[in-house]
Chain A
Amino acid sequence: MSDCLFCQLIQKKANGVFEDEKVFAMVSPEPVAPGHILVLSKEHAPIIESVPDFVVGNMFTVANKIGVAVFEALGAQGTNLLIQNGPPAGQRHNHAMLQVIPRFENDNLQIGWNPRPADESELSGLESKIKDETKNVGVFEKEKQKPIEVEKPKEITKEDYRVKYLRRIP
């Protein structure tokens, strides 16, 4: 931990608006708009791939509820949820996060892309390539149940009062 800025912020509970056992949500120290919120895994994970599946699921449900709060508290007209996964996607810190961005008409945020039509053969090629890698999608890592501790029966020594005097019986 220690040298990760966001691990430090989580520990200080800086700007915190929500936390549970696995997830911490804070108002962004680097806002792209007022009310920009970051949903973070409490445990350090540099990219989203290194966050356990069930925590990612939890991050999304938390982000959704925060999104509703953003609609209500700020009167936002929309929200974006965004994971910038890797530097080409704009990831700036090595702590995985899911962002909730409040949106308003004409807010001039640079968010979007120019869709361009793809041709059939290009799509077919991509489909088979990608399908090869999606065979294990849908098998999710679940939170490990804490082992139930069964108390071991104590060994009964010769000095135990329950047996100590038994020997005397002829």
Chain B
Amino acid sequence: MGDEEQQCVFCQIASGKIPAKKVYEDDKVTAVLDINPGTSGHVLVIPKQHAAIMPQMADDLIAHLGMVAKQLSQALIRALKVEGTSIFVANGVAAGQRAPHFLLHVIPRTQNDEVALQPAIVKVDQKTAEAVFEKLSVSVAKQFGKEPMKPKPGKEEGKKEEPKTEKKIERPAEKPSKSKLDEITNFLTGGK
């Protein structure tokens, strides 16, 4: 266990060194009741392996977290007779992350509770929307090592016939570069 983990409260909760109200545990995650809940029955799903944000975690752990969250959500709805849940992740301080350890929140919901997790729809002008779509479709495809789903209509029509090079197609799904992750982690930890 590294220094970071030894000092991390959530690592110690996950491993049981700090007592908590545990509602579920397996080899990869521990789920406990938040002592400062948004609503009664607010559950934190804590991965046992230390990570600050989701992009630092392996795919199989992320999938596991998602499946556990789904089932815990069902359990909360049954146990507390609530009408819904919010399953929520914040990556980064700007997104509302408070702890330096990745947490997944499952929050029981009822009408007129005081949780704000239904942001209002905003108007995005077409020019911005198109520019954002263009950037995202290229960047998302790169993450999966794929070609963008469809070239932007019009502009790239002429280029369509351009033969795709093997190199381009076989580019593996890149892991986010270390420097990028460090930058994000710095957002969380204040650059420690």
Contacts and interface: CB of A to CB of B under 8 A. Distances in A.
B22, B93, B118: residue with the most chain A Cβ atoms closer than 10 Å: B118
A101 B184 CA distance: 16
A30 B70 CA distance: 24
Interface of A: 13, 15-19, 25, 27, 30-35, 37, 48-49, 51, 53-54, 56-61, 64-74, 76-91, 101, 103-105, 107, 109-118, 122-124, 126-127, 129-134, 136-138, 140
A113 B117 contact: yes
Interface of B: 21-24, 26, 31, 33-41, 43, 54-55, 57, 59, 62-80, 82-97, 107, 109-111, 113-122, 124, 128-129, 132-133, 135-144, 146, 148-150, 173, 176, 180, 184, 187
B79 A133 contact: yes
Nearest to B91: A79
Contact of B136 (A74, A91, A132): A74
Contact of A87 (B34, B43, B84, B129): B84
Contacts, number: 282
B109 A118 contact: no
Contact of B33 (A114, A123, A140): A123
A70 B75 CA distance: 32
A17 B137 contact: yes
A36 B187 CA distance: 21
A101 B91 CA distance: 10
Given A71-B180, A137-B24, A138-B68, A85 B55 contact: no
A118 B32 CA distance: 13
Given A16-B149, A126-B21, A68 B176 contact: yes
A130 B15 CA distance: 20
Contacts of B95: 77-80, 101, 103, 111
B52 to A, nearest CB: 12
B124 A31 contact: yes
Given A82-B86, A84-B117, A88-B111, A103 B92 contact: yes
A59 to B, nearest CB: 6
A140 B67 contact: yes
Nearest to A140: B67
Given A110-B120, A138-B68, A140-B67, A85 B86 contact: yes
B35 to A, nearest CB: 6
A162 to B, nearest CB: 49
A129 B80 contact: yes
Given A15-B133, A31-B121, 4 more contacts: A69-B140, A78-B95, A88-B109, A138-B68
A122 B140 contact: no
B107 A32 contact: no
Contacts of B26: 138
